[in-house]
Amino acid sequence: MTLSVIMLGYRTMFIEFDPSESIDRIIRETTAKSNDFEVGFNPQVRPADERFGDFQANGILPYAKKAGLNPRELAQKLIDLLPHSDLWETDIAGPGFINFKLSSSFFKQWIDKFHDINSIKNAIQVENQQKIVVDFSSPNTAKQMHVGHIRSTIIGESLARLLGFMGHEIIRDNHLGDWGTQFGILLFAIKKENISLSELGNDPIAKLENLYRQGNNWVKDDEDNLIQARGELVKLQNGDPENLDLWQKIKDISMDSFLSIYEMLGVQFDHSLGESFYRDKVELIYEQLLAHKICEENDGALVVFHPDHKRFSKQPFIIRKSDGASNYATTDLATVAFRKNEWQSNQIIYVTDGRQRDHFEQLFMTVQKWFSAEKNACPLLKHVWFGTILGDDNKAIKTRDGEPVKLIDLLSESIERAKKMVIEKKPDLEGSEILRRAKIIGLGAVRYADLSQDRTLDYVFSWEKMLAMQGNTAPYLQYAVARIHSIFRKIESKPNQHHSTEYPPTTDSEKKLARKLLFFSGALKQTAKELKPHFLGTYLYELATEFSSFYNQSKVMVEEKEIKSLRILLCARTLTVLEIGLNILGIDTLEEM
RNA sequence: GCCCCCAUAGUUUAACGGAUAGAACAGUGGUUUCCUAAACCGUAGAUCGAGGUUCGAUUCCUCGUGGGGGCGCCA
């Protein structure tokens, strides 16, 4: 084999979807063969500030410090050892950073190679595929979905899409709250008022919710009522036919109302196994946990203490109430076992409000001890928690009269507001088209508002902000997509047609756009690692900004064929990346806005 | 009382222990015979306080201040 063949080999071999992996690999291979570095040297390759290059390797600094070497000299040694490549230039900067500046040849080959959703998807597949249950949304039956459920639904769906895109097997499970105390209260109210469930009118779920609220007041006012309500729950859980029948009807009414919302949001569950599904699986939990001495009787209840934990050694995890009824801790335990033993899942992701962190910490600790005692491999358990949506007053969002905001009302208002924007822009559009666009813009805006910032933060709900055309919003991203489509209409071509170019990115705006495209894989990986969709959102916003800049500076429809072909290619790639990214966030796009 | 989370421009926020802390909105100044100006380009402005670890701290540790949340039969 001649040298030129080897070089050619490098040239094609190293164009990977994630350029930082190429750089990481070549550094590791090089240092492994050198006496100056220990095996396992970590190059710490990161995207670099534009001023310094495209990627940087920071690993020399800590390594040199530990080895008592001069970092700049060591960096120079490494650079000298690296095989010559026409894919990048290197230099040493500051105390010992190694900067990699990718060549125009690299950019050109990269945008040629990752030309559609399939090539990108193939390139991002994980090596160790997992079977992951994503437990999200989880509304309570007998109540309407309200804003409190939107974050779980939107974040959960987005993570499910991302992990699925990366090659994991995803099971979406809607863990309905259909077996808890609220049923005791509701059944009590139904009986007290002598209500017939088949005569609730055209908004049955709203009627039930009012009834529940009324029941809740009765229970609060009078101890006897509370005892009666708890009694109804115990009867239900013991299989009382009348209560079971009522319960089933309530569940059906609730599911109808949930499904209409899930349809709007493009969410489909593989399972909706609520707490009730586990009602005959809780006895085994009590037996096993008692047998392993993981739980104990305390004040009539069955509780788990964790002596090895500073707080949970005293704060109990109640798995059976003193009246004998199960609670959500019980069903959550049974649920883990079911997902592991029946579905063979090796990972479970729970998407809930941050206020449940203690519960999940206790649950996970208990599960680990339990599985260990049973000699069963414990699935990886992750609690993906999020902050609260706040109103103008910086308190949890409520309607004026203090009621929770119904999710359907919120989504409808967003669509209404988007409709006004669409009509203002294109007054002559047909009504159905106005509505189609309004849905995509309005629902996208609500979704993106939730996904664009760190999920652990609370955020203040603002129509003006989420529907703004400027700034980090869904309409801005959708507008970038629409403009790209517009270009393809003008040049009478399709974005998904095969486009190629012999001309590398050259001008400032071409290079910057191409450069931003290369960071897509990094954004996906970081989002998956942290389970935080805002990393992807921030990236897409930066890409859209870069595109808008390019759009203003670099006209696509130019005479020079080479330049035109390159710019068409950049537009097509930008569109592909934006569409993949937005789809993962659950946001639809428009060809025209 | 115990514990958890948060604190970055006027406001909303980004930053996997790395270089001169990056944006957006609101200010302010500009760009349109040109693929959607719902856009783009300038400009000004920030790490709660005090210690510590580190070659390097918005990031890690300790203490303090301020805000939010959780702690026995709700989920």
For residue A245, give the H/E element and its range: helix A241-265
Calculate the angstrom distance between C1' of B9 and CA of A473: 21
Calculate the angstrom distance between C1' of B14 and CA of A454: 9
pLDDT band, residue A8 (cuts 50/70/90)? very low
- Strand pairing report for A317-320 and A97-102: unpaired
Residue A185, nucleotide of least CA–C1' distance:
B74
Residue A62, nucleotide of least CA–C1' distance:
B55
Instruction: Enumerate the β-bridge partners of residue A172.
Output: A134
Phi-psi region of A16 (alpha: psi -120 to 50; beta: other; left: phi over 0): beta
Q: Is A419 within 8 Å of A434 (Cβ atoms)?
A: yes
SS3 A425: helix
To the question of domain A407-584 being in CATH 1.20.1280.50, the answer is no
Nearest to A281 by CA among A241, A245, A333: A333
Say what the alpha-carbon torsion angle A344, A347, A350, A356 is, to the nearest 10 degrees.
Answer: 110
Residue A20, nucleotide of least CA–C1' distance:
B16
Checking A458-464 for CB contacts under 8 A at 24+ apart, the result is: A458/A387, A458/A388, A458/A389, A458/A390, A459/A387, A459/A389, A459/A390, A460/A390, A460/A391, A460/A392, A460/A394, A461/A147, A461/A389, A461/A390, A461/A391, A461/A397, A463/A413, A463/A414, A463/A417
| Selected residue with higher pLDDT from A198 and A332 | A332
Residues with Cβ within 8 Å of residue A249, at least 6 apart in sequence? A197, A198
- How is domain A3-102 classified at the architecture level of CATH? 2-Layer Sandwich (3.30)
CA distances for A294 relative to A312, A362, A366, angstroms: 13, 12, 8
Q: d(Cα A11, Cα A22) in Å, to the nearest integer? A: 11
SS3 A142: coil
Calculate the angstrom distance between C1' of B66 and CA of A388: 19
Please report the pLDDT score of residue A462 as a whole number: 94
Q: d(Cα A388, Cα A395) in Å, to the nearest integer? A: 9
Q: d(Cα A146, Cα A391) in Å, to the nearest integer? A: 14
As a whole-number percent, the residues of chain A with pLDDT over 70 amount to 98
Calculate the angstrom distance between C1' of B15 and CA of A588: 28
Burial classification of residue A304, based on how many CB atoms lie within 10 Å of its CB (0-12 exposed, 13-18 middle, 19 or more buried):
buried
Nearest to A132 by CA among A171, A167, A159, A161: A171
The two three-digit tokens of residue A136, written as one number: 């999200």
Calculate the angstrom distance between C1' of B10 and CA of A314: 46
Q: Is A329 within 8 Å of A363 (Cβ atoms)?
A: yes
Residue nearest to nucleotide B13 (CA to C1'): A453
Calculate the angstrom distance between C1' of B21 and CA of A441: 33
Nearest to A154 by CA among A586, A592, A589, A590: A586
Residue A359, nucleotide of least CA–C1' distance:
B70
As a whole number, the mean pLDDT across chain A is 93
Please report the pLDDT score of residue A142 as a whole number: 87
Calculate the angstrom distance between C1' of B70 and CA of A281: 29
The ranges of chain A annotated as CATH 1.10.730.10 are 407-584
CA A401 to centroid of chain Cα atoms: 33
Please report the pLDDT score of residue A9 as a whole number: 44
The ranges of chain A annotated as CATH 3.40.50.620 are 131-386
pLDDT band, residue A10 (cuts 50/70/90)? very low
Residue nearest to nucleotide B31 (CA to C1'): A552
Radius of gyration of chain A (CA): 29
CA distances for A326 relative to A282, A330, A333, angstroms: 8, 6, 11
Q: d(Cα A229, Cα A327) in Å, to the nearest integer? A: 15
Please report the pLDDT score of residue A5 as a whole number: 41
Average pLDDT over residues A78-100: 94
Q: d(Cα A191, Cα A181) in Å, to the nearest integer? A: 16
Residues with Cβ within 8 Å of residue A221, at least 6 apart in sequence? none
Each residue's pLDDT tens digit, A513-565: 999 999 999 999 999 999 999 999 999 999 999 999 999 999 999 999 999 99
Calculate the angstrom distance between C1' of B57 and CA of A71: 20
State the distance between the two ends of chain A, measured CA to CA, in whole angstroms.
Answer: 56
Average pLDDT over residues A507-514: 96
A131-386: CATH topology: Rossmann fold (3.40.50)
- Strand pairing report for A88-93 and A131-135: unpaired
pLDDT(A2) > 70: no
Average pLDDT over residues A211-229: 88
Please report the pLDDT score of residue A221 as a whole number: 85
SS3 A389: strand
Each residue's pLDDT tens digit, A139-188: 999 889 999 899 999 999 999 999 999 999 999 999 999 987 788 899 99
pLDDT band, residue A88 (cuts 50/70/90)? very high
Each residue's pLDDT tens digit, A320-375: 999 898 899 999 999 999 999 999 999 999 999 999 999 999 999 999 999 999 99
Calculate the angstrom distance between C1' of B4 and CA of A252: 38
The two three-digit tokens of residue A543, written as one number: 């890409």
SS3 A529: helix
As a whole-number percent, the residues of chain A with pLDDT over 90 amount to 84
pLDDT band, residue A13 (cuts 50/70/90)? low
Average pLDDT over residues A449-465: 95
pLDDT band, residue A417 (cuts 50/70/90)? very high
Q: Is A353 within 8 Å of A388 (Cβ atoms)?
A: yes
Residue A56, nucleotide of least CA–C1' distance:
B18
Calculate the angstrom distance between C1' of B49 and CA of A571: 49
Residue A471, nucleotide of least CA–C1' distance:
B24
The ranges of chain A annotated as CATH 3.30.1360.70 are 3-102
**Strand B nucleotides in reach of protein CB atoms, 7 A cut-off:** 2-6, 12-16, 18-20, 23-26, 34-41, 54-56, 68-75
Place of tokens 């993962």: A584
Residue A183, nucleotide of least CA–C1' distance:
B74
CA distances for A169 relative to A62, A132, A289, angstroms: 38, 6, 31
Place of tokens 């950073």: A97
Residue A478, nucleotide of least CA–C1' distance:
B38
Please report the pLDDT score of residue A11 as a whole number: 43
